[in-house]
Amino acid sequence: MNVWFTEQLHPFLRVNLRVERIVHEERSPYQHILVLDTAFFGRTLVLDGIIQLTELDNAGYHEMMVHVPALTVGAPKRALIVGGGDGAALVQMLRYPSLEEVVVCELDARVVEVCRAYFPAFARAWDDPRVRLITRDAFAYLEEQPGPFDVICADTTDPIGMAERLFSAEFLRLIVCALSPNGAAVTQCEQPYFDAALITQLYRAAQALVRHPAYYYVAVPTYPGGGIGFLYLSNQPWEKGLEHPYPPGENAYLNPQTHRAAFALPEFFRKALQS
């Protein structure tokens, strides 16, 4: 089978994966959902034509999104995942024995149902009694002030359509308002080469909200440009996470060296954030 899936999130770059099999395809009330078996990268989730995760390289994204803020807190008891209907971030969050509740606020129930059916490595997490799934718009949910949460991870899609509101100063404010005093949050925050203006705008907003905002960046080969960044929000410095042991289970990407190195930004981008 010589079929290729092509993603063109940016007008000047394409990402191509060789497809071995179309596993599932549907249009939910919110988006087009596609599950593929791909060469080398394995099973792949695509939403509205944009790659969300592959079996091979998702650990770089999900481990670094969840454990950077959770390790800062140390022993989180209550957590919120915004989006994350595939269950991969949830798997990482549930590794913390201290957790009493994880709320997953996912807009599209069909993403959860499809991923439970076709991504068995993540499916079992939904059966954990500590998990509470809320299928609704996360922006409206946070406006109701459902905190406090010790850890918040905004595992969002890209800033297109309804998701644009999730890349705003107001959304950051809602997240910070929902944090416990010593809590930490991380939001998906795009790519320094392609989205420097948006990231800088959000970083400026974060500086007005918390004492220790930071931006960090990880390698994910199937994302445009080969990586993705995160905005860290907390009144505690991210370095505190280096003092705490990892939760039970194995890491595929995170270690003390990748944890620290993720915050070392290329010079052009470091200057942009500090200008």
Sheet architecture: strand order including 101-105: 131-134, 101-105, 78-83, 149-155, 179-188, 227-234, 214-219
Q: What is the average per-residue pLDDT within 212-233?
A: 97
Mean pLDDT for all residues in the chain:
96
Mean pLDDT, rounded, for 99-122: 98
- The pLDDT value recorded for residue 160 is 81
When pLDDT is averaged across residues 16-44 and rounded to a whole number, the result is: 98
Kindly report the backbone phi and psi dihedral angles of residue 48, in degrees, each rounded to the nearest multiple of 5, phi listed first: 50, 40
Lowest mean pLDDT among 4-8, 67-71, 159-163: 159-163
Q: Is the pLDDT of residue 275 over 90?
A: no
Task: Write out pLDDT tens, residues 114-155.
Answer: 999 999 999 999 999 999 999 999 999 999 999 999 999 999
* Selected catalytic residue, list 108, 155, 158, 195: 155
At 1, the pLDDT band (50, 70, 90 cuts) reads low
In the chain, the largest separation of any two C-alpha atoms, in whole Å, equals: 54
Is there a catalytic annotation at residue 128? no
Q: 161: pLDDT confidence band, cut at 50, 70 and 90?
A: confident
Query: d(Cα 64, Cα 89) in Å, to the nearest integer?
Result: 10
Average pLDDT over residues 183-212: 96
Residue with the bigger pLDDT between 9 and 254: it is 254
Residues comprising the chain, all counted: 275
Residue 162: pLDDT band (50, 70, 90) is confident
Alpha-carbon Rg for the chain, nearest whole angstrom, is 18
Q: Which residues are 80's β-sheet partners?
A: 103, 152
How large is the average pLDDT for residues 214-240? Answer: 97
What is the rounded average pLDDT of the residues 256-270?
97
Q: Over 80: is that where the pLDDT of 216 sits?
A: yes
Asked if 222 contacts 46 with a C-beta cutoff of 8 angstroms, the reply is: no
Domains and CATH numbers, the chain: 3-54 (2.30.140.10), 58-274 (3.40.50.150)
Q: Shortest CA distance to 82 belongs to which of 31, 146, 9?
A: 146
Cβ contact 59:41 at 8 Å: no
The pTM score is: 0.97
Mean pLDDT (whole number) for 51-56: 98
Residue 217 and residue 228 in contact, taking contact as beta carbons nearer than 8 Å = yes
Nearest of 168, 158, 194 to residue 269 by alpha carbon:
194
What does the alpha-carbon distance between residue 239 and residue 233 come to, in Å, rounded to a whole number? 13
